[in-house]
Amino acid sequence: MRFYLKKIIQWSLGGCVTIVLLLNLYKRDVWVYDTDDQPLPWGPDFKRDGNPRPLTFDGPKIHEHVHRDKVRTNMSISGSLHVQHAQHPSSATSVYYSRDNDNQDRIVNQLAYIPPPVREAKKRGEDAPLKSILLYHGFGGWQVKKGQETFIDQKCGVQRCELIDNKQDGAKADAVLFHHNPARPWFDRPQKQIWILFMLESPYHTAGLGAFKDVFNWTATYRHDSTIVAPYEKFVPYNSSVLTKKQDKNYSAGKSKMVAWFVSNCGARNGRRNYADELSKHVQVDIYGACGKLKCPRYQSSKCFDMLNKDYKFYLAFENSNCRDYITEKFFVNGLQHDVIPIVMGGSPSDYRRAAPPHSFIHVDDFESPSALAEYLKHLDQNEDLYNEYFLWKGTGSFINTFFWCRICSLLHDVDSRPPSWFSDVDNWWRGPHVCIGKESWRNKSMELS
């Protein structure tokens, strides 16, 4: 039998591909993909793992006690820390960022906000002007509908907006939304057109923005000082004066294991794997997924989380980047929404305190070393009362749908009521000093953004 070199190469390549596919199927568990790549209710699915999932809205719209006509706003407020012509708010219920309300993300206020032009048009029995939003990179991954349907379906407080993707109509749009890799459109930008920069990932995993000074009017990111704050999750208490609730459950009962970690990306800029390895020298740390010896099949994800609830006391909610406000579903979903205490690494301790229910997590930077953290975990393991104090927040609030598109629409109708604003150096705002700290500790960094 004669063998030809071409056929040998073809068969060899085919065999290699088959082996790779079989290995991927074998290791295809729920933790194979880094959860930073999971789609969000308001953001595009970049399909980097080749397995796109639908974008859905899971949470309630907003608590009934937050009534639109009860939320007042200050119309003289401007946009952001680095925005030109910024004015400071005189009310804590602002819908725009300023240093005076730095501890707020303003999401609830924006959800309840009806701009004066819309209110005035309604009094006259007229419709407010229709605002158009151009999705510059198209509709792919957003799971929204063209035209007004998205705003109507979501029952937005302000529905007079439409979504478009035809770049030929770009000069007519009221706003242009860019995500991650901005570009300069070929059309002449109208004077009052709003350019919005959407960012989903940390500055370490996004393109440079040095070429876009004095370009963007608004930002839409997980950062709490963005114009439109787009967090991975948003917890809101039912009553701001009731932040704890007596629990009928002993969350430590029956648990025989200490720390679990579901992870796939073994190499991250913040050295999280090294920290986990050091912690494991002092306390049990079970690693599931591509970075550990333990497996939990993807098709049995519910059983994996049941195991977490039943067997483990702590969970490593470690992000892949230590950057301000960078707190993903690793914390909100894998951690808070299960019966474990999340041990966190990522944003600063103050970022977590701003975003999380009170006394619901343990930050690694509150301890001098992994061994010091391990001693504290052992202390909690031996003291049921202290352990259960980390769950007193449960039942005091819920994770809400932040309705990203509704809030954009509302603020677009407010543009004419405010002076022009823009980011003079959006790259410095996004990745300037003290925004990301690599492998360093937040203990050694200022807690204020520059």
Question: Which amino acids are annotated catalytic?
Answer: 201
Q: State the burial class of residue 148 (Cβ atoms within 10 Å of its Cβ: 0-12, 13-18, 19+).
A: middle
Q: How far apart are CA 96 and CA 86, in angstroms?
A: 10
Orientation angle between helical segments 370-382 and 272-279, nearest 10 degrees:
50
What are the backbone dihedrals phi and psi of residue 134, each rounded to the nearest 5 degrees, phi first? Answer: -85, 120
Q: Which residues contact 14 (CB under 8 A, 6 or more apart)?
A: none
Instruction: Tell which phi-psi region holds residue 7, choosing left (phi > 0), alpha (psi between -120 and 50) or beta.
Output: alpha
**Residue indicated by tokens 């242009």:** 176
Strands of the sheet with 341-345, listed across from one edge: 285-288, 257-262, 312-318, 341-345, 362-363
Q: In angstroms, what is the C-alpha Rg of the chain?
A: 24
| Contact status, residue 315 vs residue 339, Cβ threshold 8 Å | no
Q: How far apart are CA 396 and CA 270, in angstroms?
A: 33
